């Protein structure tokens, strides 16, 4: 019989990752995010893959909204820390945005209008 090791994360460790002080608010977070909490002799835990998916869900939903069908590619690059590779640089010079044009003499002196 073959046993597969599935990585666990205990609620004490998880509390620090989601910025909670103890196990009670961590359990509440798990309930709200549909992450099942298991218990054994060493304490309460969740499976790491379920936690990571629930923790990344706001990012995934945002990537789906912004990038459509390409969201998976952006998510994979985000996890690797190489998201900059997907950016499209159109020119080397930054665009100068002149949104405000001063009209009065005092405003021209203050804001550098010509």
Question: Which residues neighbour 59 within 8 Å (Cβ) at sequence distance 6 or greater?
Answer: 75, 78
Quick check: 57 pLDDT over 90? yes
Percent of the chain with pLDDT over 70: 86
Tell which wins on pLDDT, 60 or 112: 60
The reported pLDDT for the residue numbered 94 is 55
What's the pLDDT score for residue 91? 46
Could you report the per-residue pLDDT of 64-86, keeping only the tens digit for each? 998 888 899 989 988 888 888 87
Cα dihedral 16, 18, 20, 26 sign: negative
The pLDDT, as a whole number, for residue 58 is 93
Check residue 86 and give its pLDDT.
Answer: 78
Average pLDDT value for the chain: 84
In terms of Cα–Cα distance, which of 72, 54, 55 is closest to 63? 72
Report whether pLDDT(30) > 90.
Answer: yes
Reported as a pLDDT band with limits 50, 70 and 90, residue 96 is: low
């Amino acid at each position: 019989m073959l046993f597969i090791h599935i990585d666990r994360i205990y609620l004490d460790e998880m509390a620090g990752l989601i910025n909670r002080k103890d196990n009670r608010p961590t359990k509440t977070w798990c309930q709200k995010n549909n992450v099942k909490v298991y218990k054994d002799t060493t304490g309460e835990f969740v499976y790491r893959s379920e936690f990571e998916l629930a923790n990344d869900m706001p990012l995934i939903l945002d990537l789906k909204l912004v990038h459509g069908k390409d969201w998976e590619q952006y998510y994979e690059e985000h996890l690797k820390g190489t998201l900059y590779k997907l950016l499209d640089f159109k020119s080397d010079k930054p665009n100068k945005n002149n949104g405000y044009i001063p009209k009065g003499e005092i405003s021209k002196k203050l804001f550098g209008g010509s």
